[in-house]
Every structure is written in C-alpha cells, then in structure tokens.
Structure 1
Amino acid sequence: MTYGSETWSLTMGLLRRLKVTQRAMERAMLGISLLDRIRNDEIRRRTKSTDIARRIASLKWQWAGHIARRTDGRWGGKVLEWRPRTGRRSVGRPPTRWTDDLVKVAGSRWMRTAQDRSLWRSLGEAYAQQWASLG
C-alpha cells in the first residue's frame, strides 16, 4: 500500500481512503465483519500493525531528507527549488504541493534543516505524529 508514497502530496482525502482500506484489510485478516462491531483500536491491537498515516509520513520525511542531502546534481533537488513563471493563476485554492506539509513542521528553509541528521530525525517524529493523530 505504501509503494511510491514518498512522492505523494498528503491530503486529508487521501489519508482517509488509506485508513479505511487499512482497516478493511485488518478486518479481513482477522475474519471480523463490520456487523461484529469491534472497535478499530481493538482490531489494531490484535493485528499489531502500524498506522498507515504514520508509516507514510515517516517514509516521506526520510525521503525528503535524503533528497535535500544529495549533492550529485540530479534533478530531484532542482525540481523542489523550481518556481514557475509568474502570470495569471487559476481561480480557487491552489492544490497541495509536496513540500507544503514539510514547511509546516521544519520551516521554509527545510532543505537546510535536513542537513543536520539528528535534528531532522527528531522533527520527523513530530511530523509523523501529526499525521497519525489526524482522521
């Protein structure tokens, strides 16, 4: 379920769909029906699986740190620093970008913060916790 999740823009809708799918898979593993009315916490305790939101958030955080620390000149870092030309923008709220949630936790200079691995790792735990507590 998490293949390629490092590159996703995490949105509440995506997270909700993933959590619903994970709970359905856990119920199927245990042979539990929705009609059994067993709480999600109890199902999670029985399966001993990690929350999908927490897993995806930690994978994305690790990947972001890896991309920021790379110095070989590949296009990943260049794409993150690219700014589109100015001009007329479409009406409405802009779509969520990949870096938007990283900036909320690590600040606008997150690529420089990622250079310090211990600081980045400690911020990563807060980032993963933030997504696990939502939904």
Structure 2
Amino acid sequence: MYGAECWPATKEAGTRLSVMKTKMPRWTAGVTRLDRIRNDAIRQEFGAAPIAGKMREALLRWYGLVLRGNEDSVRKIGLKFEVVEGV
C-alpha cells in the first residue's frame, strides 16, 4: 500500500479500502455474493490480512519515523505545529 501513511485515516476511507480488498479475491476465485461465502473465509484462503490493520501499521511506522527524526526537520516541525484561531 504505497503512500498509506499519508491517506486520510477516516472510517469511510477504511471501509472503501476494505470493500475493494474483498472484491479482488472474490473476483479472482470466481466467487459472487450469491454464493454466500463469508469474507473471512476468502481472506483466509488467500492469506490476506485485514486492510485496517495494514493502514494502522503504515501510519504508526510513519509516526515513529517522525519522532525519531531531527528536531529541525520539516516533519518534526509540522508535528509540533499549532493552529491559532481567529487570526
């Protein structure tokens, strides 16, 4: 998942990715929703991990990289950035 650390971490984005990740193995296996096979069974057959966990992993990896960076790096400055309202 290239660039997942920069994707919006919204529930909608996670749901859309989860749906797409479920559709691809179903299409590859020739299974339709009418066959009434659970997504977990298909995911287990292909050895795929849930997409939400992979997204969280990428975000935490990026956060760790930012925390370990130099104090004068743009990433670290952006992390400590405060928004002032009314200005």
Unpaired runs of at least 5, structure 2: none
| Residue 58 (structure 2) pairs with residue 59 (structure 1) | yes
Considering Cα pairs closer than 8 Å and 6+ residues apart, tell me whether 1 or 2 has the greater RCO.
1
Counterpart AA for 1:27: R
What corresponds to 2:2 in structure 1?
A: 3
TM alignment of 1:37-76, pairs within 5 A: 37-71=36-70, 73-76=72-75
SS of 2:44's equivalent in the other structure is helix
Root-mean-square deviation over aligned CA pairs = 1.5
After superposition, what is the alpha-carbon deviation per residue over 1:38-81, rounded to whole angstroms, capped at 9, x for unaligned?
11111011111111110110111011011111016221111111
Say how many residue pairs are matched. 87
Q: What are the residue-to-residue correspondences of 1:59-98 with 2, within 5 Å?
A: 59-71=58-70, 73-87=72-86
Structure 2 residue 23 is matched with structure 1 residue 28: no
2 CA distance for matches of 1:40 and 1:86?
Answer: 45
Q: For 1:19, give the aligned amino acid.
A: S
Q: Deviations over 1:89-119 (max 9, x none)?
A: xxxxxxxxxxxxxxxxxxxxxxxxxxxxxxx
- Identity score, percent: 31
Counterpart CA distance in 2 for 1:47 and 1:30 is 9
Q: What TM-score does the superposition give when structure 1 sets the normalisation length?
A: 0.60
TM-score by length of 2: 0.90
